[in-house]
Each structure stands twice: as C-alpha cells, then as structure tokens.
C-alpha cells in the first residue's frame, strides 16, 4: 500500500493538526452536519439493527468463501465480455492499468472517485508513465487541484471550507471566472464546466466499485453527483480497480447493502446515482471493460481472525464522522488514504509494520462510538486492542508495563508502591518522562490523607 | 446481602473516597460488604495497551481474589467492562461483577438511596459505562432522587472526554484537546460539581478544571449518593 512519505507517527501529526484552528472549525461543522443527518435517517428504520446484522452476515459469508466467489465473479465478468486481471500489489495493479491505457492509445483518463486507486497511488504511477488522470468527483477534484491529500473517505476535501475552495478554483482552474463566489451552486457550475470538456474527449475511464456481485458479474458504483455515471458510460474503455473484499455473493445481497450504505454515508435514504453494469453491451457504453482485482495486503488481513473484520468495511465513513479523535485532528494525521477508526485498523494490516502504522492502533480512546454506527458491525475497538498487541512496543514502555504487572501481581508489592505514590504525585510536576505529558496541561489529584485500607482497618 | 467490593488499583492509590462511599451506601441499605485484601488490579491498562500476556496473571489473580462471592461491586464502569467483556476469553470464566449504580438499580432494585446533596450537578456518561455496560439512565435516576440536588444537562454529554487510558499519555495533545472541549462544556452549564462513574475520566477532566482554577469540582457518583 502506498505510504505518504515523510509523515510522522500519529501523535506528532495530530499535534500539528490541532494547532490549525480553521481545520478544527471546518471539521466540527462538517462532521456535525453529517452525524445529524445520519442519525435522522437511521432512526426512521425500526429494523436498522436487523439490517446491520444482515450486512455483517453477507460480508462474512463473502469473506469466508472468498476464493469461490472471486472465481465465480471472474467467470461471470468474462462471459459478459469483460477481461479480468489479478493484481497482487499496488505495483502490479498500476502496471496493468498503465498498460491498458497505453494499449488504448490514450494519454488522458477520467476517474470515478475510488479508494482503491488512491490506495495504490494510481494517479502518480500514471503520471510517471506520461498519462494524465483527471479526478471527476468534486471533492476529489478539489484535492487534486490543490496538490493536496484526501482527508476523508467520502468527502476527501472535508478539511476545506467554501471560501478556501473558491480561492483554489480561482487560482488553479484554467479559464474560471475571476469573480467566482463561494456559493455552492456557483462552485459546482465552475467544476461542471471544467469537467465537461474532459468527459466528452476522454477515451478511457478508471473507476473502483462499491460492490461486485459474484452471482451475476455485476459491478456497482454508488455516487451523488452523476460524474461517475458520465465516466462509466461515455468513454470507449472502462478499467475498474476493485479490492477483492468488495465481492458479495448474490444480487439479493445488494438490496441489503444499498439500504445500509447511503444512510450511513451521506445520511440519505438513497443516493442519487447507482450505476450497475456487467461486462460490455454492444452499442451501449464502453466497448472494452477490464476488471483489476486487487489484493495488496487483503489476504494477509484475511488470515487474522480478528483483523479480518476490517475487510467487511463498505467505506461509508460513518465511523470517521462520529470519531472524537478524527473530529479534532482530521484525516491527514493518519498518514494514509484510510483515515479515522477504519484507517487505524486497516492501514497497519495492509501496510505492515512501520512507525506510522504502529502508531495508528493507539489513535483511539476506545470510546466505542465507531462500533455503534458501523453498518456492518465491525468491532473496531476490539480490533484496535488486538492490533496493539501485535506492534513492537517501545523498550521503555515495555519495561514500565512489565514492572507494573509485577507490582500488581502481589498486594504487598502494590501496597509498598502505593505508599510512595502519595509522594510521587506531589513531585510529578517536576518529574521527567511520560508523566510530564500528563502534567503539562492537567493537574494530578492531591493524594488522600487516609488510604482506603487504613480507613477499612480502622472501623470496628 | 453479602457483597464483595472491587476497589480498583486507581481508586486504591488515588481515590479512596469512592470506595468508602460504596461501603457507606451499601451498609446504609443494610448489606454486608467484604473487602478481599489481596485484590489489586483487573489488568485493563495492560490489556488495552496491547500487553495481553502480562494481563493474564492479573486476571487469574482477580478470579482467585474474588472467588466465592456471588456479587462483586465496583465504582469503575471501565474495570467492570474489562472483566465482563474479556475475562471469559482470557481466563475462561467471567466473575459476577457489577458497576455500582447498575448493582443498586438492577440487583437491589433501589433508586433512592436516601442521600442529600444540595448542589448543581452535571453528569458525564463515561464511554465504557455508556456503550459497554449500557448503564443508560441508571446513574441519573439515582442522582435525581438525591434531596437538594439539581441535575443540569451537559451539552454533548455522550462525547468522549479524551482520557482513554494510555491514550492520555501516548496522545497527550489530542487527549487534552478533547478534555478541553468537555471541561468547557461543563463550565458552560454553571454546575458546581461534575459527576461520573469512572474516576479515571474524572481525573482527566478534573485535572483540567483545577489547572484552570475553575472552582468546579469532580466527584464520583458514589460520593454524592453517600452524602446525607
Ligand atoms: S468501518 Fe464501518 S463505519 Fe467505518 S467506513 Fe467501514 S463500514 Fe463505514
């Protein structure tokens, strides 16, 4: 999985983000709005808990027999006139896509918003091959124009407000009205004019997919703007890069997923555009369809009986929107395209150990708000704790934790330490080391005059 | 009824008043409290920080220390959640632990413990009490019955305070940012006292409130229920 080079581990990245008061205001406003919308449409469904349970069961069934379903999907897509490619990692997937674009004789592609292609760094790989990739999702376009990084799964430019977007468009969009205002309708119209030319001229489109139905070979993209629909229908060649965990067994399963996803994602009963296609159809839409099935660490996650729950994720972002940590620090601090609670359990598994990945399972208070809202019931807190057990702990921390376990293993050792703690808390403000991190902004409580045990023993 | 008290290592070290309060309320209601002296810690900090191996002996010790008791009560929602959620998997059994307000309401069927506390109080539902134990309105039902107490609504009450165990140290800046929002919300209510069922979270929020010289105190719910 492509890493954001030069990113520090989460605590430092978060500290920097916390200093940006504009960012915090933008995030508080945006996540607060989506949270309220989601809560309202979820409350309408008195069978919401049954729906979640059904969603969980579907994804678990798909993951349990993933090998069977993937082969079935390959057969159905091939029967319908598509070509299936298998990519072990980012490099393989990028190479396949670049080769297909070149074979089509194109030097520009239009893109449907897709997390998988962000994950593998496709745009950068295409650029290195001399191919320009144009993001057509409005928020993704804002990120691309700003030479920025996405900070949210669904709304990659959530860290920007309207005024910042207006300034960006004025600066980066060729031929834009210099008097452009920050009215959302005006901003959307500017983006539409900018994209229209590309839609009409592009010969190749690249997408991801929200779901891939093994039974029928259908691919599904769910979106709000209709720009994805343009990419999926106008160009001659369509290439879809899809993580292997996106497969679901049957078309009936889709009925459950399409009730869970929009409500959890944008807080809508149904999203405006749902595109479903199988292979190619003569005289209608692309005449060539390629499906690139991407592993890139997913089979490693699948082998972990707790970590694999992360593969149920349908990328709705509900866990980001309710996360109190995400709300304070934003998405960039997580150092990968998957921010928030899901990123904290997905990135370390897809990427393997490194200082950023090792810091992510700790980027949570384990408050449990994410589990409450997840439409496929991923027990994110449990996975976080599990992954904390797999990182290499810093030697000093390990020594402290071992010593603490030894002390707490006997009541007499614990009693001895309690007696010095009374003194310790008085001195803590001057003590070096990890306690400084507490006392910089917070007082420690004053120790009590009489311990519980003294009091207990003193009673007749 | 004979009730075991699990004080928790944090209360044993820094907040003995919560333990005393639990004893006082239960005895006032006519129950016998036993305090197994060998008790130390449930292992939550080790477990949640990724030291599952080091947690094992602590969990086995807990089971030994509280063996033979049908009801073990604790003034810590997060420690009760630790035992209830993880012990079966860790050591193959799940001791009968209850959070204090849960024990009063569900087991003893008491919602008025005969306390008096003439102050304005805001209640912060701690995450593990709220989401892991599903305490719901048990703590506030008990607080509402306290004579003289005015319970004040805390805005965004269900938002995490940012303590999070070792999170408070490993991610101190984010933790303080979250705690600051919580402490500001508390001050905005004009409450004299912030109450909760976890002294760990209260230590964090209270640490900010005293650093700011705000004059607002934090108290464990048990201490309020013990007041007469
Ligand atoms: S983990 Fe759950 S809540 Fe978070 S994005 Fe994935 S499906 Fe949505």
**Interface contact B50-A369, CB threshold 8 A:** no
Q: Over 60: is that where the pLDDT of B54 sits?
A: yes
- CATH classification (class only), B2-107: alpha beta
What average pLDDT does this structure show over A375-401?
96
Q: Over 70: is that where the pLDDT of A98 sits?
A: yes
What average pLDDT does this structure show over B167-195?
97
Please state, rounded to an integer, the average pLDDT across all residues of chain A.
94
Q: Give DSSP secondary structure letters for A286-313.
A: -SEEEEEEE-TTHHHHHTSTTGGGGGG-
The reported pLDDT for the residue numbered A197 is 87
What average pLDDT does this structure show over B22-50?
97
The reported pLDDT for the residue numbered A5 is 61
Q: What is the pLDDT of residues B131-173, one digit of tens each?
A: 999 999 999 999 999 999 999 999 999 999 999 999 999 999 9
B7, B61, B64, B160: best to mutate for the A interface, most A CBs within 10 A: B160
Give the fold, CATH level 3, of B120-225: Rossmann fold (3.40.50)
Using pLDDT thresholds of 50, 70 and 90, give the confidence band for residue A440: confident
Q: Over 90: is that where the pLDDT of A438 sits?
A: no
Q: ipTM for the complex?
A: 0.96
Q: Same fold for the domain at B2-107 and the one at B120-225? A: yes
Residue of chain A whose alpha carbon sits nearest to that of B17: A452
Residues of A in contact with B170 (CB under 8 A): 11, 362
Q: Which CATH superfamily is domain A18-29+47-299 in?
A: NagB/RpiA/CoA transferase-like (3.40.50.10420)
Q: Which residue's entry shows tokens 């002996």?
A: B57
Using pLDDT thresholds of 50, 70 and 90, give the confidence band for residue A2: very low
C-alpha R_g of chain B: 17
Q: Over 70: is that where the pLDDT of A432 sits?
A: no
* Atom 3 in ligand 1: residue holding the nearest Cα: A374
Q: What is the pLDDT of residues B96-113, one digit of tens each?
A: 999 999 999 999 999 999
Residue A188 makes CB contacts below 8 A (sequence gap 6+) with: A138
Ligand 1 atom with minimal separation from the A316 CA:
8
Q: Over 70: is that where the pLDDT of A35 sits?
A: yes
Q: Where are the domains of chain B?
A: 2-107, 120-225
- Residue B37, classified by CB atoms within 10 Å of its CB into exposed (0-12), middle (13-18) or buried (19+), is exposed
Q: Which residue's entry shows tokens 């998405």?
A: A331
Phi, psi of A194, deg, nearest 5: -65, -40
What average pLDDT does this structure show over A72-93?
98
Using pLDDT thresholds of 50, 70 and 90, give the confidence band for residue A435: confident
Q: Say how many CA atoms lie within 13 Å of B159 toward its Cβ.
A: 27
Residues of A in contact with B55 (CB under 8 A): 405
What average pLDDT does this structure show over B64-89?
98
SS3 state of residue B151: strand
A316, A154 Cβ separation under 8 angstroms: yes
Q: Which of A418, A367, A328 is nearest to B198 (CA)?
A: A367
B63 and chain A: CB distance < 8 Å anywhere? no
Residues of A in contact with B172 (CB under 8 A): 11, 437-438, 440-441
What average pLDDT does this structure show over A397-414?
94
Using pLDDT thresholds of 50, 70 and 90, give the confidence band for residue A450: confident
Distance from the Cα of B172 to chain A's closest Cα (Å) equals 6
- The number of residues making up chain B comes to 228
The pairing of beta strand A204-207 with beta strand A237-243:
parallel
The reported pLDDT for the residue numbered A346 is 98
Angle B107-A411-B128 from CA coordinates, rounded to 5°? 40
Q: Over 80: is that where the pLDDT of A1 sits?
A: no
The reported pLDDT for the residue numbered A124 is 97
Proportion of chain B above pLDDT 70, given as a percent:
100
A143, A135 Cβ separation under 8 angstroms: yes
Residue B50 makes CB contacts below 8 A (sequence gap 6+) with: A361, A385, A387, A388, A389, A390, A391, A393
Q: Where are the domains of chain A?
A: 18-29+47-299, 397-459
A344, A359 Cβ separation under 8 angstroms: no
Distance from the Cα of A305 to chain B's closest Cα (Å) equals 14
Q: Over 90: is that where the pLDDT of B61 sits?
A: yes
B176, A437 Cβ separation under 8 angstroms: no
* Atom 7 in ligand 1: residue holding the nearest Cα: A313
Q: Over 60: is that where the pLDDT of A379 sits?
A: yes
Q: What is the pLDDT of residues A192-210, one digit of tens each?
A: 999 998 999 999 999 999 9
Using pLDDT thresholds of 50, 70 and 90, give the confidence band for residue A425: low
How many Cβ atoms sit within 10 Å of the Cβ of residue A178? Answer: 5
Q: Please tell me if the CB atom of residue A321 comes closer than 6 angstroms to any atom of ligand 1.
A: no
Using pLDDT thresholds of 50, 70 and 90, give the confidence band for residue A431: low
Where would I find the H helices in chain B?
9-13, 16-28, 44-49, 52-65, 77-91, 100-102, 127, 138-144, 167-170, 172-189, 199-211, 221-226
Q: Over 80: is that where the pLDDT of A422 sits?
A: no
The reported pLDDT for the residue numbered A429 is 55
Query: Is the Cα torsion angle B44, B48, B51, B53 positive or negative in sign?
Result: positive
Q: Which residue's entry shows tokens 């306390």?
A: B115
How many Cβ atoms sit within 10 Å of the Cβ of residue B198? Answer: 30
Q: Which residue's entry shows tokens 């709005």?
A: A33
**Interface contact A452-B12, CB threshold 8 A:** yes
B33 and chain A: CB distance < 8 Å anywhere? no
A257, A314 Cβ separation under 8 angstroms: yes
**Model pTM score:** 0.95
Q: What is the pLDDT of residues A136-172, one digit of tens each?
A: 999 999 999 999 999 999 999 999 999 999 999 999 9
């Amino acid at each position: 999985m492509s890493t954001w080079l030069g990113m520090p581990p989460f605590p430092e990245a978060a500290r920097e983000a916390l200093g940006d008061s504009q960012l915090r205001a933008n995030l508080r406003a945006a996540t607060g709005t989506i949270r309220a919308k989601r809560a309202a449409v979820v409350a309408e469904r008195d069978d919401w808990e049954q729906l979640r349970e059904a969603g969980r069961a579907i994804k678990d069934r798909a993951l349990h027999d993933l090998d069977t379903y993937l082969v079935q999907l390959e057969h159905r897509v091939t029967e319908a006139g598509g070509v299936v490619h298998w990519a072990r990692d980012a490099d393989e997937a990028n190479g396949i896509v670049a080769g297909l674009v070149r074979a089509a004789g194109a030097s520009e592609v239009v893109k449907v918003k897709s997390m998988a292609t962000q994950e593998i760094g496709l745009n950068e790989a295409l650029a290195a091959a001399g191919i320009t990739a144009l993001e057509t999702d409005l928020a993704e376009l804002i990120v691309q124009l700003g030479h920025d990084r996405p900070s949210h799964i669904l709304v990659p430019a959530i860290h920007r407000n309207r005024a910042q977007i207006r300034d960006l468009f004025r600066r980066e969009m060729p031929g834009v009205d210099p008097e452009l205002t920050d009215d959302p309708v005006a901003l959307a119209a500017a983006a539409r004019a900018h994209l229209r030319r590309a839609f009409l001229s592009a010969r190749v489109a690249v997408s991801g997919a929200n779901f891939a139905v093994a039974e029928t070979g259908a691919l599904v993209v769910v979106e709000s703007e209709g720009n994805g629909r343009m990419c999926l229908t106008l160009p001659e060649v369509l290439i879809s890069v899809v993580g292997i965990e996106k497969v679901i067994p049957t078309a009936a399963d889709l009925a459950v997923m399409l009730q869970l996803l929009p409500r959890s994602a944008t807080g809508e009963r149904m999203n405006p555009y749902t595109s479903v296609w199988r292979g190619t159809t003569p005289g209608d839409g692309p005449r060539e369809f390629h499906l690139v099935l991407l592993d890139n660490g997913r089979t490693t996650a699948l082998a972990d009986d707790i970590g694999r729950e992360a593969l149920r994720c349908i990328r709705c972002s509900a866990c980001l929107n309710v996360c109190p940590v995400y709300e304070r620090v934003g998405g960039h601090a997580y150092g990968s395209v998957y921010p928030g609670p899901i990123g904290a359990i997905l990135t370390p598994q897809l990427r393997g150990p490194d200082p950023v990945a090792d810091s992510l399972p700790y980027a949570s208070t384990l408050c449990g708000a994410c589990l409450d809202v997840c439409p496929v019931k991923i027990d994110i807190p449990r996975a976080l704790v599990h992954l904390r057990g797999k990182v290499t702990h810093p030697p000093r921390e390990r020594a402290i934790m071992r010593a603490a376990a030894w002390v707490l293993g006997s009541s007499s050792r614990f009693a001895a330490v309690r007696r010095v703690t009374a003194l310790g808390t008085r001195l803590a403000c001057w003590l070096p080391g990890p306690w400084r991190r507490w006392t910089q902004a917070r007082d420690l409580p004053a120790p009590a005059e009489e311990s519980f045990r003294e009091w207990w023993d003193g009673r007749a | 009824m004979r009730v075991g008290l699990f004080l928790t290592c944090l209360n044993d070290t820094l907040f003995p008043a919560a333990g005393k309060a639990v004893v006082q309320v239960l005895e006032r209601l006519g129950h016998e409290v036993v305090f197994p002296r060998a008790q130390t810690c449930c292992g939550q900090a080790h477990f949640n920080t990724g030291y599952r191996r080091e947690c094992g002996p602590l969990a086995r010790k807990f089971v030994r220390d509280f063996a033979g008791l049908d009801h073990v009560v604790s003034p810590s929602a997060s420690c009760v959640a630790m035992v209830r959620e993880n012990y079966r998997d860790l050591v193959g059994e799940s001791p009968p632990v209850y959070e204090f307000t849960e024990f009063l309401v569900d087991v003893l069927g008491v919602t008025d413990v005969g306390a008096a506390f003439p102050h304005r109080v805001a209640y912060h539902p701690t995450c593990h009490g709220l989401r892991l134990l599903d305490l719901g309105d048990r703590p506030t039902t008990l607080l509402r019955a306290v004579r003289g107490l005015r319970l004040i609504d805390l805005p965004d009450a269900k938002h995490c305070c940012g303590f999070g165990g070792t999170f408070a140290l490993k991610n101190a800046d984010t933790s303080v940012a979250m705690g600051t929002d919580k402490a500001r919300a508390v001050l905005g209510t004009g409450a004299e006292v912030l109450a909760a069922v976890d002294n760990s979270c209260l230590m964090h929020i209270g640490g900010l409130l005293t650093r700011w010289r705000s004059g607002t105190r934090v108290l464990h719910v048990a201490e309020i229920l013990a007041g007469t």
